[in-house]
Structure 1
Amino acid sequence: MMKAFQYDGATIGVKEIPVPEPAAGQVLIAVEAAGLCHSDCTIVNGKGAWVSKTPITLGHEVAGTIVKISPEITDFDIGDRVAIALVSHPLENANWSTTVGLGYDGGYAEFTLAYREHLVKIPTGVSFAQAAVATDSISTAYHAVVAEARVTSSTVVGIIGLGGLGLNGVTIAALSGAQVYGFDINDKKFPDASKSGAIQCFSRLSDASHIKFDVLIDFAGVGSTTTDAISSVKVGGTVVLVGLGAAEMTVSTHTLVTRGVRLYGSIGASLEELHSVLNLIDTRKITPLLEEIPFSTVREGLERLDRNAAIGRLFTCPRRETKPESNSA
């Protein structure tokens, strides 16, 4: 038996459940680190949106060590350090039923399964915690900045929402040589955004009306942030929506059409993009801001995310219950 945080369709809580056995094409992973994602808040608050079954163990940012392996898998071995990729792209081929923490029991547990096609070996210079958050928090930001927003050295870009995802967006945009500005209602996040490469940070888009933005990337997605972005980006500019803070929003078709704004939704990343992100971490071009929380406090950690009270990315180590410390490794 093992401990796992399961969502039952109404609440999330810790339960004792059997350790799963790998079927054909699967491995069993001892979970060494699991990142906490605001999407899990959306699942809990949205009465099960996204997940394919209940009860389900949540946690889709997962890294660990292979402890069992089905015999037909020959390119991985017991003891390998691996991350579980979400593989959201090409989007038309995405299979959510094989996605950890959404299609089947995930990483808020001592052990979880992974399908061979989702496995990525972790480079030597990347920690389990870094690899876990790389699967979503960093690779999702990478895809939004590079593939959807197409940020380059000549781009003036605003990053809305400076949580774990947004801070990674700032870093990646700055690595591209862009002029990067940050936005968040919590000004305690400004120093870390500045360290990540933001030229200046603001509480509201209206405070930066003197700046001509080519691109605004909304990692908050609370409705008003997106509509404000559509009004604030330059004529003919691009708005990329990543955050799922609001289930719905109202957009002025007049503003969208007459200003010629391109509005894109962005989710996840490809396997190749995850490899690129892991290489950036391995070469120290990206060092994600992380905070470890005890496994017993996963529910409280998600509540912190929901209140916009977390700085950087929260993660937990389900196989230990020692008092953790904040760190960037």
Structure 2
Amino acid sequence: MLAYRIATKGEAPRLCEIDLPHPQVGQVRVAIKACGLNFADLLMQKGTYQDTPPAPFTQGMEVAGVVDAIGPGVAHLKAGDRIAVYAGQGGLAEYGVFDAERAIPLPDAVSFEEAAAIQIAYGTSHLALDHRARLQAGETLLVTGAAGGVGLTAVEIGKLMGATVIAQARGAEKLAVAKAAGADHLIDASEDLRTHVKELGGADVVYDAIGGDVFKAAFRATNPEGRLLPIGFAGGDVPQIPANHLLVKNLTVIGFYIGGYLTFRPQIVRDSFETLFRWCAEGRIKPHISHVLPLSETEKGLQLLRDRKATGKVVITP
């Protein structure tokens, strides 16, 4: 079978042919139909992602497909079942072997492409805004990088939760995408973020995927008792947070990493995914997928992420 693999730490990944894997105890083999690409995939190539597996490994974190074979000890799944798996690795291939306990059945109304686009991006936003930040209806949510794969879901879920959403993104095209997802107010990345947010009454919750100066500006535009979620650092600079300013405005900075919950509270992730798949089946959320590419064009898809030319998700279909 074909797989997109990092053979040696520090080497560029490549598409290669490997043996078909066989499921062991508690595992299932999946014929992979779709795999979502993530900024974390780029970090893994550099070895800088916190959960980079030891080489060699196949890239691809979020998977959707059909159960192809069952390992010993698996009773709740059968061959032919449509499932999604937040695997962390192994998704950019024609087949993959995954722990059966991570497999979540897919409603018939949810496509494989949608399932591959929902897990990390929507799961991150749903758990961050609901479980961690406790966003309330009527509050104001500021989302930076609002047209990216994760930021766009924060706009959509924030609106679904009853918040007024301020979206920041670069350029008219990306701002239009954020508006279509439900943003109430739009701020171009070239504009003064702090000034515009304060003119709109300030932010109660900040969902920041950029870091650096953008986080600093958002921090200064946060209302007293506001909550800030530093979700990612796409701008390349991890901001340093002045603790004395936290005291003055009674602010809370909230750490959140969805992968961490898989180790100490996996049921929270499972419950979130089941909710999101149900919302998708009901038409309450609609993943924005800007590109669907074959496995042979995986590098092209990752380059779209590097160049920030994707709006929403890039999905690979082996």
Q: Assess same fold via TM > 0.5.
A: yes
1:6 counterpart residue number: 5
The question of whether the paired residues in 2 share the 8 Å contact of 1:145 and 1:173 is answered with yes
1:325 counterpart residue number: none
Q: How does 1:52-201 map to 2 (within 5 A)?
A: 52-85=53-86, 99-101=87-89, 106-162=90-146, 163-201=148-186
**Matched position secondary structure for 2:254:** strand
Runs of 4+ residues over 3 Å off in structure 1: 45-49
The one-letter code sitting in structure 2 at the alignment partner of 1:278 is F
1:214 counterpart residue number: 204
1:202 aligns with 2:187: yes
The one-letter code sitting in structure 2 at the alignment partner of 1:119 is A
Cα deviations by residue, 1:178-237 (Å, 9 ceiling, x for unpaired): 1111011343211111111101211242333312211111123x3222222221111221
Cα distance change on mapping 1:48 and 1:147 into 2, 3 Å:
closer
2:271 counterpart residue number: 272
Once residues 175 and 219 of structure 1 are traced to their aligned partners in structure 2, the CA distance between those partners, rounded to angstroms, is 20
The question of whether the paired residues in 1 share the 8 Å contact of 2:40 and 2:49 is answered with no
1:226 aligns with 2:215: yes
Once residues 153 and 171 of structure 1 are traced to their aligned partners in structure 2, the CA distance between those partners, rounded to angstroms, is 14
Once residues 49 and 120 of structure 1 are traced to their aligned partners in structure 2, the CA distance between those partners, rounded to angstroms, is 25
Cα deviation for residue 113 of structure 1 reads 0.9
Matched pairs, number: 299
Gaps spanning 5+ residues in structure 1: where?
A: 86-98, 319-329
Cα deviation for residue 265 of structure 1 reads 1.7
1:239 counterpart residue number: 228
Once residues 157 and 135 of structure 1 are traced to their aligned partners in structure 2, the CA distance between those partners, rounded to angstroms, is 22
**Matched position secondary structure for 2:74:** coil
**Matched position secondary structure for 1:151:** coil
The question of whether the paired residues in 2 share the 8 Å contact of 1:27 and 1:116 is answered with yes
Cα deviation for residue 277 of structure 1 reads 0.4
2:244 counterpart residue number: 254
1:25 aligns with 2:14: no
Cα deviation for residue 49 of structure 1 reads 4.5
**Matched position secondary structure for 2:186:** strand
Cα deviations by residue, 1:275-306 (Å, 9 ceiling, x for unpaired): 00000001000011112023222122112112
The question of whether the paired residues in 2 share the 8 Å contact of 1:158 and 1:215 is answered with yes
The one-letter code sitting in structure 2 at the alignment partner of 1:241 is P
The question of whether the paired residues in 2 share the 8 Å contact of 1:5 and 1:15 is answered with yes
Cα deviations by residue, 1:152-194 (Å, 9 ceiling, x for unpaired): 2111111111212111111111111111110113432111111
Cα deviation for residue 315 of structure 1 reads 0.1
The question of whether the paired residues in 1 share the 8 Å contact of 2:229 and 2:256 is answered with yes
The question of whether the paired residues in 2 share the 8 Å contact of 1:182 and 1:193 is answered with yes
**Matched position secondary structure for 1:144:** helix
Cα distance change on mapping 1:111 and 1:316 into 2, 3 Å:
same
The question of whether the paired residues in 2 share the 8 Å contact of 1:242 and 1:266 is answered with yes
The one-letter code sitting in structure 1 at the alignment partner of 2:88 is V
The question of whether the paired residues in 2 share the 8 Å contact of 1:41 and 1:303 is answered with no
Once residues 316 and 285 of structure 1 are traced to their aligned partners in structure 2, the CA distance between those partners, rounded to angstroms, is 24
Higher mean Cα deviation, 261-270 or 240-249? 240-249
The question of whether the paired residues in 2 share the 8 Å contact of 1:9 and 1:48 is answered with no
Q: Percent identity?
A: 26
Cα distance change on mapping 1:247 and 1:69 into 2, 3 Å:
farther
TM-score computed with the length of structure 1 as normaliser? 0.86
Cα deviation for residue 59 of structure 1 reads 0.5
Cα deviation for residue 242 of structure 1 reads 1.2
Gaps spanning 5+ residues in structure 2: where?
A: 259-267
The question of whether the paired residues in 2 share the 8 Å contact of 1:22 and 1:28 is answered with yes
Cα deviation for residue 48 of structure 1 reads 5.9
Cα deviations by residue, 1:300-327 (Å, 9 ceiling, x for unpaired): 2112112221011000101xxxxxxxxx
CA RMSD of aligned residues (A): 1.6
1:311 counterpart residue number: 311
Higher mean Cα deviation, 172-181 or 38-47? 38-47
The question of whether the paired residues in 2 share the 8 Å contact of 1:4 and 1:14 is answered with yes
